[in-house]
């Protein structure tokens, strides 16, 4: 009898402890999503986002979520940070579910969603908020399908060279301005027992696409790539082959972190750069956001960024146009929610938001605006103001037509996947010729289906 009573008491204690353990978790969630305010009577506007670092999530909550929630009385914005946001989003939208504001990893991600009728046309909102007038034209166009706007790029990204000023100065190496100079410094770094450059695809295989995109821009050239992407020319041409062969040459020489490429992520790569283990980190400008964790104290100003150096084929400063992400509106939500989603997207598409977010989270929110003159960097940290300089420089180059194409913005899904698989060439499982042919095979099918986003015309193309 006593045994039975003690069992019952134990059960009650266990059940109670489970309930009490759950309560603080629920309460904590409410506090983090509502910043201490009780918004339980408000309708929820959802935004799913990738799993950014904790400091970045805090910045987003403070500068977007809290600001929006405080601006009106009917809705509350809830941002969910999901590491597998791309796969989650596709699955949810396929079932006519998903958040009000649709995150995408680039305009090419948007194309199948538009074809399936999952996204709301945004032309009316564009007119209401004046997006066409204030956003850089190539970026605005990349979000259109058959002339109708479906997505906006929230931040620009481009391939370039981060370097450690101290490593270059200590070794008497100059900041490279041409690819030959860059390669010469990397050779010397290898001789000195350093990494030639640090980078890697640990945990995120699509990192490969950064190098493919950069060499397609700077070796194949924007004019060739424009013709290829508009179907005027085949992928199987000497310029594209030369670009792929150049990535292979870099791989073989160990310029891409040597055998550590598959064991390093961007965060670790920047830690190594900060620790003076390499002169360079060649990667996307969004990597500024990870640099903030390692270039601290007396190392803060050791890092700098230059555009990808000049090549024989592309001598002028040219940027590969990439996107941090795209924002769209779910077609399967109520009209009121669509209107609010557009309002929230507009909050993110202005210079003031870019200034505030870049100050707190450098590297991600390079809003592709035509006019960035109002962005004040005087109060910003070194990293934040460096990033703003990069975005302004990209903006100028784009206005002059000096740009190439990032695969995650301009290539359709299956073609992009073949680009990501460029490591097949690096590891000698396929020849350059066969690899380029395999891209052509995928692209041909997707081009015929109309899955290629609009391709902006660079300078030098008639």
The site string for another protein over 380-399 (x = CB under 8 A, - otherwise) reads --------------------
Q: Which of 364, 204, 391 is nearest to 289 (CA)?
A: 364
Binding mask 97-116 for another protein (x = CB under 8 A): ---------------xx-xx
Looking at 40, 259, 335, 373, which residue binds another protein (CB under 8 A)?
259
Max CA separation in the chain (angstroms) = 94
Tell me the number of residues near another protein by CB under 8 A. 37
Is residue 417 close enough to count as binding another protein by CB under 8 A?
yes
- Determine if 228 is a binding residue for another protein (CB under 8 A): no
Instruction: Identify which of residues 233 and 424 has a Cβ nearer to another protein in the complex.
Output: 424
Residue 51 as a binder of another protein (CB under 8 A): the answer is no
Judged by CB under 8 A, which of 67, 166, 202, 457 binds another protein? Answer: 202
Question: Nearest-5° angle of CA 286, CA 413, CA 251?
Answer: 60
Bridge partners, 319 (sequence order): 403
Retrieve residue 387's tokens. 């990033």
Phi and psi at residue 130, in whole multiples of 5°?
70, 35
How distant, in Å, are the alpha carbons of 243, 440, 441 from that of 237? 10, 10, 14
90 is a contact residue toward another protein (CB under 8 A): yes
263 binds another protein (CB under 8 A): yes
Q: Which stretch binds another protein (CB under 8 A): 184-192, 201-209, 297-305, 397-405?
A: 201-209
Cβ-based nearer residue to another protein, 103 or 353: 103
Q: How far is the CB of 146 from another protein (least distance, A)?
A: 16
CB of 251 to another protein, least distance (A): 11
**CB distance 414 to 330 below 8 Å:** no
Q: How far is the CB of 263 from another protein (least distance, A)?
A: 5
CB of 396 to another protein, least distance (A): 34
Q: Which parts of 120-149 interact with another protein (CB under 8 A)? A: none
What's the min distance (Å) between Cβ of 203 and another protein? 8
> How many Å from the N-terminal Cα to the C-terminal Cα in the chain?
94
Q: Which of 181, 356, 424, 444 binds another protein (CB under 8 A)?
A: 424
Q: Which of 111, 390 has the CB closer to another protein?
A: 111
Contacts for 148-151: CB closer than 8 Å, 24+ residues apart: 148/121, 148/122, 148/123, 149/121, 149/122, 149/123, 150/110, 150/113, 150/114, 150/119, 150/120, 150/121, 150/122, 150/328, 151/102, 151/104, 151/107, 151/110, 151/119, 151/122, 151/326, 151/327, 151/328
Q: Which of 79, 101, 271, 398 binds another protein (CB under 8 A)?
A: 271
Question: What CA–CA distance (Å, rounded) separates 389 from 372?
Answer: 10
Select the span of 169-177, 261-269, 325-333, 376-384 touching another protein (CB under 8 A). Answer: 261-269
Helices 382-399 + 351-360 axis angle, to 10: 140
118 binds another protein per the rule CB under 8 A:
yes
Q: Which of 110, 229, 264, 324 binds another protein (CB under 8 A)?
A: 264
55 binds another protein (CB under 8 A): no
Residue closer to another protein, measured from CB, 239 or 268: 268
Choices 40-48, 62-70, 158-166, 264-272; region in contact with another protein by CB under 8 A: 264-272
Q: Does 192 bind another protein (CB under 8 A)?
A: no
87: contact with another protein by CB under 8 A:
yes
Among 80, 233, 260, 356, binds another protein (CB under 8 A): 260
Determine, following the binding rule CB under 8 A, whether residue 254 of this chain makes contact with another protein. Answer: no
Least CB distance to another protein at residue 181 (A): 27
| Closest separation in Å from C-beta 334 to another protein | 21
Dihedral sign, Cα of residue 422, residue 424, residue 426, residue 431? negative
Chain residues in the site for another protein (CB under 8 A): 86-87, 90, 93-94, 112-113, 115-118, 201-205, 259-264, 268, 271-272, 413-414, 416-417, 420-421, 423-424, 426-427, 429, 442
């Amino acid at each position: 009898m006593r045994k039975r009573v003690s069992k019952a008491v134990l059960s009650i204690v266990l059940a109670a402890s489970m309930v009490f353990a759950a309560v603080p978790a629920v309460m904590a969630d409410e506090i983090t999503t509502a910043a201490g305010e009780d918004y339980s009577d408000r309708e929820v506007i959802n935004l799913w986002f990738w799993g950014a670092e904790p400091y970045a999530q805090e910045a987003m909550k403070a500068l977007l979520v809290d600001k929006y929630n405080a601006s009106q009385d009917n809705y509350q914005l809830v941002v969910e940070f999901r590491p597998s946001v791309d796969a989650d989003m596709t699955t949810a939208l396929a079932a006519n579910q998903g958040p009000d504001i649709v995150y995408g990893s680039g305009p090419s991600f948007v194309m199948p969603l538009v074809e399936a009728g999952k996204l709301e046309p945004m032309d009316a909102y564009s007119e209401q908020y004046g997006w066409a007038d204030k956003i850089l034209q190539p970026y605005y166009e990349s979000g259109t399908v058959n002339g109708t706007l479906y997505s906006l790029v929230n931040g620009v990204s481009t391939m370039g060279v981060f370097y450690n000023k101290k490593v270059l100065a200590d070794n008497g190496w100059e900041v490279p301005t041409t690819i030959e100079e860059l390669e010469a410094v990397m050779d010397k770094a290898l001789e000195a027992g350093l990494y030639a450059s640090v980078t890697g695809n640990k945990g995120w295989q699509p990192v490969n696409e950064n190098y493919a995109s950069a060499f397609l821009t700077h070796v194949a050239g924007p004019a060739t790539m424009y013709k290829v992407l508009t179907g005027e020319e085949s992928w199987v041409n000497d310029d594209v082959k030369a670009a792929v062969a150049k990535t292979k040459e870099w791989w073989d020489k160990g310029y891409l972190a040597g055998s550590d490429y598959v064991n390093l992520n961007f965060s670790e790569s920047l830690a190594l750069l900060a620790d003076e283990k390499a002169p360079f980190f060649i990667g996307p400008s969004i990597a500024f956001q990870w640099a903030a964790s390692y270039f601290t104290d007396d190392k803060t100003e050791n890092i700098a960024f230059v555009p990808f150096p000049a090549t024989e084929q592309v001598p002028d400063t040219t940027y590969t146009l990439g996107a941090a992400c795209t924002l769209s509106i779910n077609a399967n939500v109520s009209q009121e929610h669509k209107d609010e989603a557009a309002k929230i997207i507009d909050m993110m598409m202005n210079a003031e938001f870019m200034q505030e977010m870049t100050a707190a989270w450098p590297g991600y929110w390079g809003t592709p605006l035509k006019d960035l003159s109002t962005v004040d960097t005087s109060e910003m940290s070194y990293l934040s103001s460096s990033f703003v300089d990069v975005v302004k420089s990209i903006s100028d180059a784009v206005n002059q037509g000096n740009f190439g194409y990032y695969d995650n913005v301009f290539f359709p899904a299956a073609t992009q996947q073949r680009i990501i698989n460029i490591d097949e060439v690096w590891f000698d499982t396929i020849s350059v010729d066969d690899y380029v042919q395999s891209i052509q095979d995928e692209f041909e099918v997707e081009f015929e289906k109309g899955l290629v986003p609009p391709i902006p015309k660079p300078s030098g193309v008639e």
